[in-house]
Amino acid sequence: MGEVKALVCFFKKYYHIKLNFRGVNVEKQKNQTIVDRIWNSFSSITLAVVFFTLISLTSMIGTVIEQNAEPEKNLKVIGKLFGESLAPTLYNIFERLGFMDMYHSWWFVTLLLLFAANLVICSIDRLPKIWKLVKEPINPLSEEHFKGVGIKREIVLRGKTEKVRGVVGTAIKNAGFNFSEAKEANGYQLYSQKGSYSRLGVYITHFSILVILLGAIIGIFFGFKGFLNLPEGAISSVAYYRSGIEQPLGFSIRCDNFLVDFYGGSDMPKAYKSWLTIIKDGKEVIKKTIEVNDPLTYEGITFYQSSYGMVPDAQGIFMLKAISKDGKRETINLKHNESFTIPGTSITGKIINFSPALGMDQTGRPFTYADMMNNPAIYIEFSEGGKQKYAGWLLKRYPETWALPDGHIVEFMDYWGIEYTGLQVRKDPGVWVVYLGCITISIGLFIAFFVSHRRLWVRLIEDKNGTRVTVGATANKNRQAFERKIDKIIALLSKSQGGGK
């Protein structure tokens, strides 16, 4: 307890200084009552609102200035907004202030931390009062308090108080309220409450924000975010930071293959796939095909499919499958300008040309329309006994181009080793803390907005004609719904007990 008090005291002092620093009018002397007054006043909520506003307004700037971009891009943006002549000067000012990577700048992080501190202080300040309200058992209501409650109803039921007490009790119980009873001068009072814990919803929500921030901090200090461009067939035991610094992985990763799938005959990508193998101590431990939205995790490090490209000046391997007319098959791997033989025949094929994206222009002439492997094609010349037989383009995406005129088939499987897969590599031990915070914030918000603290008092007093039933009730949220519920109970009661039975 001592530590908590000390902590509170520290925060109060800190808060006091902060308010002073922010130019709020506070007397210089550290008078306890003034500190208390500040502590108890609403200023912390006001301050929270000030932080909402400050964080929002500054955040906007970072959505206009592209973050971590090349200077030219933002010079253009600033030039457009404020005029070309001012752009370089303004750019320098913005850069000095950290706006080019503003969400990681010292002042923005400070703003977030101050916001967190404010949240902590607000919670410490209000929690005891609310806790008391939550824990406080409900008591019978006195005569004059009955007049002041929000929802009031009154009916007279036939029958002795004793009997009515049983009927009303059952009705309340059926409505989901466990009640207590008190004997009063001319009868009884039944009282009950539900959902008092709902007053904690706000605190669960606020606490969750702190948990999420904590998770983010854990991620910053104990995790890393890097990338790795891995050509097909290559192995790496490190990833790279944006700055180019290496980050050892503790194991090796190999890219066995990379592929872009397209929709039908279009150039709309359907899937980016990388076949990855994890190698630890010389042994292959995991093989997985990753896609966007389906990463691979090993030893806390996750590999995400994020980009791809062509390896410059790479010499790849053409992977073909030759099937002769009479069904003899052979898998063939060869390089550019190398030759192969169709099994069981003396026909040889030689790869003369390659296009990563073969298209046809209006005159029907083939040409390459993209740098990426959108529509890989090889041009093969076939000859028999030194004489050229036929030649043509074989397209990987179009099996109908694989059939040769005399019934043989040459399948173009892949041109392997010239693409690389771009992997985002991340380790973030804080992500589970963030997710925990996300779960609790959902629970907190649900409780805060949709669960209501309902209190119900029912007084039964002996009357000439039977028993007078006075209902008093309060609800801190959605009062109408509670009113309707009470009216329903009363309607049921008067139906069973009100008529001339």
Partner 1 sequence: MSSSILFGISTMAYILAMIIYIAYLAFRKSQVGITATTVTVVGFVSQTMAIILRWKEFYEIGQMGILRAAPLTNLYESLIFFVWCLILGYLIIEFKYKNRSFGAFITPVAGLALAFIDISGMSKDIQPLVPALQSNWLLAHVIMSFIGYATFAISFSTGLMYLIQTTDKRNEPSYIFWTVTTGIFIIILLAMGIDYLSFRVAIRSPEMLIKSYLFKASFFSQSSLVSALSWLVSLAFIFMLWRYGYVLKRIMSAFSISPDTLDEVTYKSIAIGFPVFTLGGLIFGAIWADQAWGVYWSWDPKETWSLITWFVYAFYLHSRLMRGWKGKKVAIVAVVGFVAVIFTYLGVNLLLSGLHAYGSIG
CB atoms closer than 10 angstroms to residue 471:
23
295 part of the interface to partner 1, by CB under 8 A = yes
473-492: contacts with partner 1 (CB under 8 A): none
According to the binding rule CB under 8 A, does residue 438 interact with partner 1? yes
CB of 22 to partner 1, least distance (A): 18
Residue 487, amino acid: D
Alpha-carbon gap, residue 75 to 94, rounded angstroms: 11
Residue 62 is a binding residue for partner 1 (CB under 8 A): yes
- In DSSP notation, 329-376 reads EEEEEE-TT-EEE-TTS-EEEEEEEEESBEEE-TTS-EEE--SSSSB-
252 versus 424: smaller Cβ distance to partner 1: 424
Stretch that binds partner 1, among 9-17, 130-138, 373-381, 445-453 (CB under 8 A): 445-453
Q: What is the largest CA-CA distance in the chain?
A: 124
Q: Determine if 55 is a binding residue for partner 1 (CB under 8 A).
A: yes
Q: Which residues pair with 430 in a beta bridge?
A: none
- Asked if 268 interacts with partner 1 (CB under 8 A), we say yes
Q: Which of 486, 459, 345, 356 is nearest to 412 (CA)?
A: 356
Indicate whether 79 belongs to the interface with partner 1 (CB under 8 A): no
| Segments in 41-149 forming alpha helices (H) | 43-64, 71-82, 87-96, 106-135, 143-148
432 counts as binding partner 1 under rule CB under 8 A:
no
Minimum distance, C-beta of residue 132 to partner 1, in the bound complex (Å): 18
Selected from 145, 270, 329, 484, the binder of partner 1 by CB under 8 A is 270
The reply on whether position 446 binds partner 1 by CB under 8 A is yes
Q: Is 235 in the site for partner 1 (CB under 8 A)?
A: no
Q: In what order do the strands lie in the sheet with 317-323?
A: 329-334, 317-323, 409-416
* Minimum distance from residue 477 beta carbon to partner 1 (Å): 9
Q: Could you say which of 445, 461, 462, 498 contacts partner 1 (CB under 8 A)?
A: 445
Stretch that binds partner 1, among 30-38, 329-337, 425-433, 457-465 (CB under 8 A): 425-433
8 binds partner 1 (CB under 8 A): no
Helix/strand/coil for 426: strand
Nearest alpha carbon to residue 34 among 47, 16, 7: 16
Q: How far is the CB of 341 from partner 1 (least distance, A)?
A: 38
Residue with tokens 């099994």: 343
Is 288 within 8 Å of 254 (Cβ atoms)?
A: no
**Tokens read off for 206:** 């606020």
- Residue nearer to partner 1 on the CB measure, 4 or 268: 268
Among 9, 93, 182, 292, the residue binding partner 1 under the rule CB under 8 A is 292
Residue 457 CB, shortest distance to partner 1, in Å, is 26
Considering only 64, 93, 182, 413, the residue that binds partner 1 (CB under 8 A) is 64
> Taking CB under 8 A as the criterion, which residues in 28-47 touch partner 1?
42, 45-46
Binding mask 86-105 for partner 1 (x = CB under 8 A): -----------------x--
In degrees to the nearest 10, what's the CA dihedral of 330, 335, 337, 338?
-40
Comparing CA positions, the residue from 309, 358, 316, 357 lying closest to residue 337 is 316
Count other C-beta atoms under 10 Å from residue 403's C-beta.
14
Q: Binding partner 1 by CB under 8 A: which of 79, 98, 233, 269? A: 269
Q: Long-range contacts made by residues 130-137, C-beta under 8 angstroms, separation at least 24?
A: 130/199, 130/200, 130/203, 133/196, 133/199, 134/196, 134/197, 134/199, 134/200, 136/196
Q: For residue 49, state whether it binds partner 1 (rule: CB under 8 A).
A: yes
Residue 316 identity: G
Q: How far apart, in whole angstroms, are the C-alpha atoms of residue 501 and residue 499?
A: 6
Contact status: 293 vs partner 1 (CB under 8 A): yes
Run of H or E including 442? helix 431-450
Give the nearest distance from C-beta 396 to partner 1 in angstroms.
19
The span of 159-167, 322-330, 400-408, 429-437 binding partner 1 (CB under 8 A) equals 429-437
Tokens of 316: 């790849």
d(CA 375, CA 464): 95
Q: Quick check: 6 binds partner 1 (CB under 8 A)?
A: no
Region binding partner 1 by CB under 8 A among candidate stretches 327-335, 350-358, 431-439, 465-473: 431-439
Nearest distance in Å: CB 73, partner 1: 10
Closest contact distance (angstroms) between CB of 49 and partner 1 is: 6
Q: Whole-angstrom Cα distance, residue 65 to residue 77?
A: 7
The number of helices, as runs of H, and strands, as runs of E, in the chain is 11, 22
Contacts with partner 1 by CB under 8 A lie at 42, 45-46, 48-49, 52-53, 55-56, 59-60, 62-64, 66-67, 103, 216, 225, 263, 268-272, 291-295, 302, 304-307, 424-426, 431, 434-435, 438, 441-442, 445-446, 448-450
